[in-house]
Amino acid sequence: MSKIGKQPIKLLEGVTVKITGNIVVVSGPKGNLERKLPHGFSVEEKDGFLTVKPQSNTFSLSPNYGTTRALLANMVTGVSTGWKKVLELVGAGYRAEVAGNSLTLSVGFSHPVKFEAPQGISIKVEKMLITIEGTDKEVVGQAAAFIRNIRPPEPYKGKGIKYQDEIIRRKAGKAAKTAGAPA
């Protein structure tokens, strides 16, 4: 069985778990998250730890064992400390503004692009950095990916929207190719 699935999840201070049938509700200082467990798994809370147990030892449960444990661990982290993704605007004249729950991007198109933040997500803009925060790791990651996809970084000048720690592989371009060619 899964090495990751067997590991217990430590419940951080202020986090409570309520298990009703196959639905797990995790509550903490940042909010509440709810998830339905896949068929064949049960969750047990004991001494400040959460453990995921398969109900049978069949091979069909093996692929979801570690995934189920990781999703529950992400829920516990999300309601206690939260999740955060930072995007960086690279390009002359690229701007981002937040008004309420919507992000307006001016990234080289003839019109500004609006992005409505999903429920439970907060967006902040400081200079050329866009910070996306929330309790649900999947929603935070999906929102960041959607914003990045509005203007992904291009390989010649590196202009676009990229993750803060992302490395863009640069291409030489036409001028560099012809400079080394014989005349």
- State the Rg of the chain over Cα: 22
- Domain finish residue from 80, 108, 126: 80
Q: Which two tokens stand for residue 36?
A: 């339905």
61 in a domain, yes or no? Answer: yes
Give the closest residue to 144 by CA, choosing from 60, 152, 66, 27.
Answer: 152
- Name the amino acid, one letter, at 51: T
* Shared domain check, 87 and 76: no
33 in a domain, yes or no? Answer: yes
* Shared domain check, 157 and 103: yes
Cα–Cα dist 143/131, whole Å: 11
Given the structure tokens 């797990």, which residue do they identify? Answer: 24
Cβ(134)–Cβ(121) under 8 Å?
yes
Q: Which two tokens stand for residue 147?
A: 């914003």
Per-residue pLDDT of the chain (183 residues; tens, 9 = 90+): 578 888 999 998 899 999 998 899 999 999 999 999 988 888 999 999 999 988 877 777 778 888 999 999 999 999 999 999 999 999 999 999 999 999 999 999 999 999 999 999 999 999 999 999 999 999 999 999 999 999 999 999 999 999 999 999 999 888 766 666 665
8-state DSSP, 47: T
* Shared domain check, 74 and 145: no
Structural domain boundaries enclosing 89: 83-163
- Give the three-state DSSP class for 178: helix
CATH number, domain containing residue 155: 3.90.930.12
8-state DSSP, 27: E
- Domain finish residue from 25, 55, 80: 80
Q: Which two tokens stand for residue 155?
A: 């390989």
Give the global pTM.
0.86
Cα–Cα dist 18/48, whole Å: 13
135 in a domain, yes or no? Answer: yes
pLDDT value at residue 182: 67
182 in a domain, yes or no? Answer: no
* Shared domain check, 64 and 49: yes
Given the structure tokens 């430590």, which residue do they identify? Answer: 10
